[in-house]
Structures are given as structure tokens and as C-alpha cells.
Amino acid sequence: MRQLTFIKPGTFEWWDVPLPVISAPGDVLVRPVAVARCDLDLYIANGRAPFPGPFAMGHEMVGVVVETGDHVTRFRPGDQVVVPFQISCGECDNCRRGWTNACTAVPTRACFGMKPLSGVEFGGAISELLRVPFADHMLVRKPDGVTAEALASAPDNIPDGWRAVAPNLVANPGAAVLVIGGAAQSVGLYAAMSAVSLGASQVVYADTDQQRLWLAKAVGAEALELKAGHDMPALGSFPITVDASGDAEMLRLAIRSTAPCGVCTSVAIYYEDKVVLPFLRMYGAGITFHTGRVHARREMPDVIGHINCGHMHPERITSLVVPFSDAADAMADPAPKIVFRNDWT
């Protein structure tokens, strides 16, 4: 079958690889229908993220079940499903706690489309078929009233933005939210979209990029243009702040803009060995700082439910819809969110 394979920054190839097969009774085979480009995929493509190739690409996927293992009871061929990017069993102690990014039944950081994270190739979503283990736990049924393209980022980037605001708005209903956008392009926008959906009294999206500012307004946030520079004054005093910038100075700006006893969550990845944080201010103000990988499978039902009810519109953030056939050329496009549509079947 065809599989989009990352070779090195700027180089992708279509490889002919063996079709996956059912290898355990809880497996299913899924035919991808719509695959979103994760924010991290862009930085793999352009070399900012130091991932060595080759490996199969694509991990945000909506698809159709083609074949099921003997122990699969919740799904059957023809079902349309959303597939979380992280692989989890649903039965180990970590999964039962909701820590689905740290399942002990699979290698650490096991996921589709990013072999270097775990050292094991689980296949990529920009291909003809994908084997999904632990299917009864992993898969989430696609609602009939939502398109596959709208849900394509529900396996990763939408939950990533959601988790940065949802628990904090539960703890502090109606709180004002600040999102500082940047490298985690769509995740920051999805965080703003989620905050609007969850009833924040004010949602401010700050960024230096005009296209992302326009998209933030499209999902109901206030757009605040930033000028690149150092030692910018606080943008206010927000109980909930989100750093999606990937820039150390912008991260510190987010912390400066966090209210006393507030929460700042960073959804960006910092590849530098050292990032200086204002710990004295954080300590004195009682600021909680959170970073780390999303528990995607845990968050997906709430995310998909809000989309299905019309409270969130991720399609407004999608910049381009591109056929699979053009995926190799489009992977490094700087657009905030690209969705690849399967044009092979």
C-alpha cells in the first residue's frame, strides 16, 4: 500500500509498504478518510523539530473501519471513527487514572506517525490502511452530523487546546482567559475556541501573526496584535493563561499576565536545554504552571460532544484542505491548519 514517509527535513517519499493485518483479537483496520496536519508535523517537515527519518507520517485521523479482530465488540466494518493519536490499552493502572498518554501496555510515548518518540513504527495516517490496537477502548464513533474534515484534528490538537482551559474553567467558572499564540499554531487557536465554548467571560488571543489573529476572531475571541520584542508589560491579569508561542520571552509574558493564584499552561514544545522562568514572581503570586503532553483519549469525548452540539467550529481554523495525492508537497506549507482528504478511494 502507499504510505507517506518522512525522510529528512524538506523530503517526503511515497513508499510501497505491506498492508497492515489484524495481529491481535482487539485490533481493527481503519481506512483514513481525513487526516489533519498536527502543529508538530510542520516542524518535523521543516527541521525545527529534530526527528530523524525515515518514518510514516500522519497521526490526526478520522476513518472507516474495514476489518475487526475477533474480540472487538463495539465496532464493525463501515463504522466511521475518530482515532486518538496516542496508543493506550484502557486497562492498565495509568489508563484507568485517565493518564492515556502514559499507557504501560505499550512503549513509552507510543503513537501513530511519530516513530522517533517511542522507537516503534505503528504506521502513519496518510496511508491506505492503519492498524489500531485496543480498538474497543481507543476508537470514538464519529457523530453523523459532523464532517470528517471538521473532526480531523480531534485526535490530538483540539484536545490539546481544550485541556489547557477546560479544567481551569471548571474550577473557576466564567474566568477570563488569555492565549498567547505562536509555534503551536492550531493548538493555541483551539484553546481560544474551547474557552469561548466553555463560557469564559473574556477570551483574548494575542499573537504577532495576522492570519492567526483573524482565525481567532473567527472562533469568537478578541484578537490582540503583539509586536515582537523583549520585556513587554503584562497584558492584564488573567486567572487562566495559555502559552502556545514556543518563544521563551512570550512564555514569560504569559506568566507575567497570570493573575495571583492563577494557572498558566504551556502547550508549546521547547527544544532548548534551558528556559528561564520568573520563579520568584510565580512563587510570590502563587501561580500554578503546567506543561506536558495531552491525554488525548481522555479528552476526546467532551471535545467531540461540544463540536457535535455546534458549540465549537474547528473547521473555521482549517486553512487548507488538500488531497492525499498532494500531501508530500503541502506538508511544509506554513498554514496554521491543513487537512488532507483521502482522494484514493
What one-character-per-residue DSSP string does 292-326 give? S---HHHHHHHHHHHHHTTS--GGGT--EEEEGGG
How much is the average pLDDT of 268-277? 89
Residue carrying the nine cell digits 474497543: 136
Residue 231: predicted pLDDT: 75
Query: For residue 273, what pLDDT band results from cuts at 50, 70 and 90?
Result: confident
Residue 64: predicted pLDDT: 98
Phi first, then psi: give them for residue 290, nearest 5 degrees: -130, 135
3-state secondary structure of 190: helix
Average pLDDT, the chain: 96
Query: For residue 193, what pLDDT band results from cuts at 50, 70 and 90?
Result: very high
How much is the average pLDDT of 148-166? 98
Cα 71 to chain centroid, rounded: 29
Residue 173 has pLDDT above 70, yes or no: yes
Q: Per residue in 218-244, pLDDT tens?
A: 999 999 999 876 678 999 999 999 999
Question: Looking at this protein, which amino acid is placed at residue 9?
Answer: P
For the packed helices 210-218 and 185-197, what is the interaxial angle rounded to 10 degrees? Answer: 20
Equal fold, 2-155+295-341 vs 159-291: no
Question: Looking at this protein, which amino acid is placed at residue 112?
Answer: F
Residue 345: predicted pLDDT: 66
How much is the average pLDDT of 33-52? 96
pTM: 0.96
Q: Per residue in 54-107, pLDDT tens?
A: 999 999 999 999 999 999 999 999 999 999 999 999 999 999 999 999 999 999
Q: Which three cell numbers stand for residue 278?
A: 520568573
Percent of the chain with pLDDT over 90: 96
Residue 272: predicted pLDDT: 81
Residue 285: predicted pLDDT: 96
Domain locations along the chain: 2-155+295-341, 159-291
The per-residue b/e assignment along 83-117, b for 16 or more CB within 10 angstroms, e otherwise, is: bbbbbbbeebebbeeeebbbbeebeebbbbbbbeb
Which CATH fold would you assign to the domain 2-155+295-341? Quinone Oxidoreductase; Chain A, domain 1 (3.90.180)
80: which residues sit within 8 A by CB, 6+ positions away? 33, 62, 63, 64, 65, 141, 142, 148
How much is the average pLDDT of 277-285? 95
257: which residues sit within 8 A by CB, 6+ positions away? 178, 180, 234, 235, 236, 237, 238, 241
Query: For residue 321, what pLDDT band results from cuts at 50, 70 and 90?
Result: very high
Query: For residue 344, what pLDDT band results from cuts at 50, 70 and 90?
Result: confident
- Alpha-carbon span 339 to 314, nearest angstrom: 11
Specify the CATH architecture of the domain 159-291.
3-Layer(aba) Sandwich (3.40)
- Alpha-carbon span 33 to 22, nearest angstrom: 20
- Alpha-carbon span 222 to 308, nearest angstrom: 24
Residue 331 has pLDDT above 80, yes or no: yes
Query: Pick from 123, 125, 31: which is nearest to 81 by CA?
Result: 31
Residue 53 has pLDDT above 90, yes or no: yes
Burial of 73 (C-beta count, 10 Å sphere; 0-12/13-18/19+): exposed
Integer CA distances (angstroms), 302 to 109, 145, 166, 176, 188, in order: 23, 16, 10, 21, 18
How much is the average pLDDT of 281-304? 97
